[in-house]
Structure 1
């Protein structure tokens, strides 16, 4: 019998299931969408029952697409959006729609969490913050304070990940991945954040959180009979713990060793690195101990607006020009766009400055400059932002290998500019759906096909191409990057 595994990616707009063989080859996939409601400014909600319905549709569709006998699927694992908070009754039925990851109604509660100064906040810029309203504690506190009747009925409070695990196995088990990076659980410094919870009158959250947890790659158990029927899988299929989509995407990119970095691109950028040691410093998030791999630390940075800046430019200033033409015109110009400098803080800065009021800028304009110059400057500014974050990681992280996923892998000019500004090669893998593949690798480990995640990555992740930096361009960018670094302080003075 040939063994196959299933990776399930619960995203913001849909749930996708993908069947893989043990070499990491994708055999078939299917996606099922669900709706998001925005009942008020800053609010974003989804119906958890819609996730479960989508899981049945997507899983069955992926199996049909793959042509695989469902009896040969040994295990599955899920990745999901992180900080998507669910409240369930004793029976596991939602008592309200979830608070989706992008929901920021708990901004005042986030300020209250930060004001405690609790040692558990070391993962938030070394204690300086911020605590994002997207995270678990602000959202749970908002429910308790604003919907006490819902809170009274909520016997279980967890995440999208935990809801799927409960529906699949009947067990209420948290992911160590989410706990360490968004719940303030500390594997090396005291475990559960009981003192922090007490200071914000949220001690009763502990009774609602899962009492059990499992690290990524650990087996939770087989499917229940009802779940097996719903998903079209054998009851013998093992459910293996996953975690947050971007972090499980690190596994799907083969980012496993100290000095490895996942550069996840899209409307925003996320930088996730395997650190050399534990560190907690201003301007970065983490490090998170044992978050993805045992005995390793993950460091996190992020840019709020990247691909969204380029989409803004095209929408407003070049709606009838193809991206290929924009990129070709920009690539014909020299590094530095002949004196133009762009700052990418169109929606504030997440790291390393952590300033929601920071704003974008284009400076150095002359009558010589064209739309191609502006476009190139915007791309370069985004790439400088990535370099700024990696520089802010400090001595705890030395970038030795960078693997890219997301929209930028389809834009050669953008990839080359990233490589040139960093002065480092970039790798692109064969499988673009890194979170799905990461979940499949975890499933393969849980099924016993590989002894650990490292071995699973070695067998199932392959590099398809390498973008080599132009070191002459890198040298030309050095003084321009210094100007970019100075621009944040100069622009801040203008709004003080």
Structure 2
């Protein structure tokens, strides 16, 4: 039996899984690393911590493995998107990485809009938002000019880890699409964008397909991990693109809801010809020649983690959510908006903040817990409704991530989305997508679709309950009133936030 490894470099931890030729999970290991948040709106990480913890996770995975290291044929990656890693001419790190959820770049986004105008949407299909990579490059250029002058190349998070393990510098199309520097239809770095914003094109690394082999493991890291130095290393993809592959989103009849730190509603697109006018993200898929659109909730699972850590730190998630099923729809008159770090879709507002609306002295912890789950799901529904408004017919959705681990939440998704929710039996999300790219790259399958048929199985379906759909429809109308009613309050309160 042969094996591959999928590595998912997340925002809070790296996860590595070992999968055999039948798609069976044969081992997993994870390691955490910290966020660096020096002030409000800043979010950074030390890329060397990613490398060290990835190596430690791989070493644990190999130590668990009862077979021969030579039987592990391939490794591929999924990674948190948009994060800026800057290297000098010797390919040494110049600073900490600025992450996707960093919101310091509002001024740079305005600069991009002024300099590029409609060209930005024409070429990249995405608006200038704080989370993307180009605004971060311009922030460093403006605020750290000496450092910017030393920069020789920029990478995204997983690309830096892969470079460290192999010595090869590349970026795949699915991750490059999240930089605002890629012409996504032509699949090449845009000379015109680089020239207009003053970013040297020489900073952009070579582009490859997600399933391309870019090298092998260096002898140093082969020794440290216990893997063979002949193991093939594949480029991998952006976490959402890999999550889509791991959920089998490989044709235009399929839609996915993924709830991790952030949350996405993602739909497959066969071409780059559609025009969503920047209302949702439009990006290259990790499947060659394909695309996907998605709406993003910046603080999805993060909202639930924040709530638990703040109000029930001694409880497990299972205990915290155990009574949610017994709380009626609407959490006894309580609404939550998950704008803890601003919002992406549909508002693109870095300054708005979350709220509980309707609190009274009768509310208990379980009411708040249900309100948090409902608020996260309402935010994702706003993205779903943008797709439906453009004519997409969405009757079933594959749910992955933290939102697929709780029965009450899965039924809530079915009722709020008014769609059949599908739970997978071997749901490993982005890490499985990365493993599938390695399996396809190794030649185990003729296509990712064939790999999907072998690796992905459905476990259970949750059908929308008509009376619940009706009640949630009315509650969603109230939820949609909260943002316009609190926007100015949030912006005004920003002057009093912790700096």
Please classify the TM superposition score into its range, dividing by the shorter chain length.
0.7 to 0.9
Deviation at 1:352, TM superposition (A): 1.2
Structure 2 matches for 1:190-269, cutoff 5 A? 191-202=188-199, 204=200, 206-210=201-205, 212-269=206-263
Distance 1:187 1:306, change over 3 A: closer
Contact 1:283 1:352 in 2 (8 A): no
Structure 2 matches for 1:37-436, cutoff 5 A? 37-122=36-121, 129=127, 131-188=128-185, 191-202=188-199, 204=200, 206-210=201-205, 212-275=206-269, 278-281=273-276, 284-288=279-283, 290-311=284-305, 327=321, 329-337=323-331, 341-363=335-357, 373=367, 375-393=369-387, 394-395=389-390, 397-436=392-431
Distance 1:307 1:19, change over 3 A: closer
Q: Tell me, what secondary structure is at the counterpart of 1:23? A: coil
Contact 1:283 1:353 in 2 (8 A): no
Gaps of 5+ in 2: 493-499
Provide the rounded CA distance (Å) in 1 between the counterparts of 2:487 and 2:98. 33
Q: Which moved more, 1:443-452 or 1:86-95?
A: 86-95
Q: Tell me, what secondary structure is at the counterpart of 2:235? A: strand
Encode CA deviations 1:97-136: one digit per residue, 9 max, x unaligned: 3323333343322221122234452189966x3x233322
Q: Tell me, what secondary structure is at the counterpart of 1:381? A: helix
Provide the rounded CA distance (Å) in 1 between the counterparts of 2:10 and 2:399. 19
Deviation at 1:152, TM superposition (A): 3.0
Please, what is the CA RMSD of the aligned residues? 3.1
Q: Tell me, what secondary structure is at the counterpart of 1:167? A: helix
TM-score by length of 2: 0.86
Provide the rounded CA distance (Å) in 1 between the counterparts of 2:174 and 2:6. 17
Encode CA deviations 1:57-87: one digit per residue, 9 max, x unaligned: 2222211112221111111101122222222
Contact 2:103 2:350 in 1 (8 A): no
Q: Which moved more, 1:38-47 or 1:109-118?
A: 38-47
Provide the rounded CA distance (Å) in 1 between the counterparts of 2:70 and 2:460. 35
Distance 1:65 1:113, change over 3 A: same
Q: Tell me, what secondary structure is at the counterpart of 1:413? A: helix
Provide the rounded CA distance (Å) in 2 between the counterparts of 1:483 and 1:260. 29
Encode CA deviations 1:372-426: one digit per residue, 9 max, x unaligned: 5555444333322222210112326432431222222222212111111112111
Contact 1:283 1:354 in 2 (8 A): no
Contact 2:123 2:184 in 1 (8 A): no
Contact 1:124 1:285 in 2 (8 A): no
Deviation at 1:267, TM superposition (A): 4.3
Q: Tell me, what secondary structure is at the counterpart of 1:49? A: helix
Structure 2 matches for 1:14-33, cutoff 5 A? 14-33=13-32
Aligned length: 489
Deviation at 1:240, TM superposition (A): 1.1
Q: Tell me, what secondary structure is at the counterpart of 1:30? A: strand
Contact 1:32 1:57 in 2 (8 A): yes
Deviation at 1:50, TM superposition (A): 3.1
Q: Tell me, what secondary structure is at the counterpart of 2:177? A: helix
Distance 1:119 1:318, change over 3 A: same
Provide the rounded CA distance (Å) in 2 between the counterparts of 1:96 and 1:317. 35
TM-score by length of 1: 0.87
Contact 1:125 1:286 in 2 (8 A): no
Deviation at 1:142, TM superposition (A): 2.4
Q: Tell me, what secondary structure is at the counterpart of 1:114? A: helix
Gaps of 5+ in 1: none
Q: Tell me, what secondary structure is at the counterpart of 1:57? A: helix
Deviation at 1:438, TM superposition (A): 0.9
Contact 1:258 1:397 in 2 (8 A): no
Q: Tell me, what secondary structure is at the counterpart of 2:292? A: strand
Q: Tell me, what secondary structure is at the counterpart of 1:182? A: coil
Distance 1:51 1:199, change over 3 A: same
Q: Tell me, what secondary structure is at the counterpart of 1:207? A: helix
Give 1:438's match in structure 2, choosing from 433, 436, 439. 433
Provide the rounded CA distance (Å) in 2 between the counterparts of 1:47 and 1:317. 29
Distance 1:66 1:474, change over 3 A: same
Q: Tell me, what secondary structure is at the counterpart of 2:189? A: coil
Provide the rounded CA distance (Å) in 1 between the counterparts of 2:74 and 2:400. 25
Contact 2:254 2:396 in 1 (8 A): yes
Deviation at 1:329, TM superposition (A): 4.8
Provide the rounded CA distance (Å) in 1 between the counterparts of 2:124 and 2:340. 22
Deviation at 1:445, TM superposition (A): 0.5
Contact 2:132 2:178 in 1 (8 A): no
Provide the rounded CA distance (Å) in 1 between the counterparts of 2:124 and 2:216. 39
